[in-house]
């Protein structure tokens, strides 16, 4: 294991050293062993609760230079300069097998100077949701932070109700948020903003240093990565739930899992965050919010880029998003290219799902198994308005038959249409079992989510939507 503390040492004025404060009776319950091997982490950490004992030692390599980071952020559109790692600690950076530095970040490790009267704890419910959700996205091919391990405890913490404390170690290329740059810009701290940019260039985006304006090149990279990430969210029906700028990564990865959800029956303006009364972070608002957030971030680049450079760079978001989204959606229907006809069929299918409140995931997957030579598809029974589906089906099958080999198209569809996603009712099933000390359900769900396109899951409970479609309201509290 090659462990460094580059952020903590190079940006020491922007962090506070804090030793981990572990909850009572902490027990290691889940380990992402393949990911641990990718990071060359010691095998003995994962047996006999060894890692818990090590974390208690202030001289342990992951504890002795643990730091809380300072940042700000736009929360529901309003600037908040008082943010920072209120329950998390950056433990250091390790190298993966391709020599890329990866952060190790401990969540739920106690109070920091940025806890804002919070207890610095994370609860089992939200910790398990983040563990499962981040791995689900990763295996769908959606950029995300990763889960390394999870601990539970007997310590009680108060949220909307009493819950038990938990911790997890997550990984990411870095924990640099939009809010890091925004904070030092808005506070007028040009010295630390410059150091932050230099650190980012050298350790995370070295390719921009060869460009005429490295700052503009960095902003361009962030814009393009964010556009692709959100396009994948939209294509797979993922709702982040709280896209504040402090929850946005400069790497374009899904970050800070709170009240996230995958849509079950398709509702284009679905909201799952119970505090989002105005629907700012609704499913269909996510692309617009991402661009709003990028505009907010661009202010921090204004001392290094002209107004025209910033505008030109931000204008890349929409065409990049649309190109990625349209191509993937066309592929999900079996078309190798996105054009006027294939996109009309995509829009027609989405309209049917929305108008008739049909399951977003099962019906995409089911399409690949339909016989295109049949004038009437058995899928008509999945829709309330069969005539609407019949009309769409005729157009769809004729265009598919004219576009290529149906069997190759079906194989392509099965490679991008998942059987399993991290549905809310399955997450709750895993949480309820874990609260009773049973992590077998979580392990079984994770196993399915690690190969989400595999047909072997079609006959399992993990392919099923909820028995009854009910309004889902999720809490931000962790």
Cα separation, 128 vs 352, whole angstroms: 34
Residue 432 tokens, joined: 């309820």
Residue 417 tokens, joined: 């249409």
- Per the CB < 8 A criterion, the answer to whether 128 and 98 are in contact is no
408: Cβ contacts below 8 Å, ≥ 6 apart: none
Q: Which residues pair with 254 in a beta bridge?
A: 144
Count Cβ atoms below 10 Å from residue 109 Cβ, excluding itself.
Answer: 28
Cα separation, 327 vs 343, whole angstroms: 9
Cα separation, 60 vs 90, whole angstroms: 14
Q: Which of 246, 256, 264, 359 is catalytic?
A: 246
- Map residue 214 onto helix, strand or coil: helix
Query: Can you list the alpha helix ranges (DSSP code H) found in 204-285?
Result: 214-236
Query: In this structure, is the dihedral angle defined by the CA atoms of residues 158, 160, 166 and 171, taken in order, positive or negative?
Result: negative
Q: On the CB side of 149, how many CA atoms lie within 13 Å of its CA?
A: 22
- Per the CB < 8 A criterion, the answer to whether 200 and 218 are in contact is yes
DSSP codes joined into one string, 368-401: TTS-TT-SS-GGGGG-S-HHHHHHHHHHHHHHHH
Provide the CA 229 distance to its chain's centre, in angstroms.
9
Could you confirm whether 246 is annotated as catalytic? yes
**Residue 184: its H or E element:** helix 178-186
Cα separation, 268 vs 359, whole angstroms: 12
Q: Which residues pair with 27 in a beta bridge?
A: 152
**Residue 54: its H or E element:** helix 50-55
Provide the CA 80 distance to its chain's centre, in angstroms.
23
- Per the CB < 8 A criterion, the answer to whether 51 and 45 are in contact is yes
> Which residues are designated catalytic?
246
């Amino acid at each position: 294991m090659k462990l460094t503390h580059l952020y903590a040492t190079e940006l020491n004025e922007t962090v506070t050293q804090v030793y981990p404060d572990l909850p009572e009776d902490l027990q290691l319950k889940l380990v992402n062993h393949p990911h641990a091997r990718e990071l060359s982490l010691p095998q003995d950490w994962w047996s006999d609760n060894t890692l818990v004992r090590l974390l208690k030692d202030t001289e342990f390599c992951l504890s002795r230079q643990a730091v809380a980071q300072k940042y700000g952020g736009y929360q529901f559109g309003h600037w908040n300069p008082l943010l920072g790692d209120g329950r998390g600690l950056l433990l250091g950076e390790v190298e993966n097998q391709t020599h890329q530095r990866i952060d190790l970040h401990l969540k739920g490790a106690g109070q920091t100077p940025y806890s804002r009267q919070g207890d610095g704890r994370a609860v089992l419910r939200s910790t398990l949701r983040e563990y499962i959700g981040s791995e689900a996205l990763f295996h769908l091919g959606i950029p995300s932070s990763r889960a390394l391990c999870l601990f539970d405890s007997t310590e009680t913490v108060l949220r909307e109700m009493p819950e038990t404390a938990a911790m997890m170690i997550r990984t990411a290329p870095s924990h640099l948020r939009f809010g890091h740059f925004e904070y030092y810009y808005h506070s007028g701290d040009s010295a630390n903003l410059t150091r932050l940019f230099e650190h980012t260039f050298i350790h995370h985006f070295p390719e921009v240093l060869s460009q005429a304006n490295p700052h503009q090149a960095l902003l361009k990279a962030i814009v393009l990565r964010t556009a692709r990430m959100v396009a994948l969210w939209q294509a797979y029906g993922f709702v982040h739930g709280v896209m504040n700028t402090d929850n946005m990564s400069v790497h374009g990865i899904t970050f800070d899992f709170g009240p996230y959800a995958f849509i079950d029956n398709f509702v284009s303006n679905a909201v799952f965050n119970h505090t989002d009364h105005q629907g700012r972070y609704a499913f269909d608002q996510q692309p617009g919010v991402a661009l709003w957030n990028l505009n907010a971030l661009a202010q921090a680049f204004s001392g290094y880029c002209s107004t025209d450079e910033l505008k030109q760079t931000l204008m890349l978001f929409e065409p990049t998003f649309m190109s990625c989204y349209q191509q993937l959606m066309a592929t999900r229907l079996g078309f190798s290219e996105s054009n006027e006809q294939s996109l009309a069929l995509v829009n027609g299918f989405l309209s049917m799902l929305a108008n008739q409140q049909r399951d977003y995931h099962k019906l995409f997957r089911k399409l690949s198994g339909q016989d295109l030579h049949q004038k009437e598809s058995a899928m008509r029974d999945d829709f309330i308005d069969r005539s609407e589906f019949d009309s769409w089906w005729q157009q769809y099958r004729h265009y598919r038959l004219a576009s290529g080999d149906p069997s190759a198209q079906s194989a392509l569809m099965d490679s991008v249409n998942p059987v399993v996603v991290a549905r809310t009712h399955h997450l709750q099933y895993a949480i309820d079992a874990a609260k009773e000390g049973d992590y077998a359900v979580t392990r079984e769900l994770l196993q399915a989510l690690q190969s989400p396109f595999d047909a072997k899951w079609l006959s399992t409970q993990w392919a099923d939507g909820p028995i009854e479609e009910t309004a889902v309201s999720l809490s931000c509290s962790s």
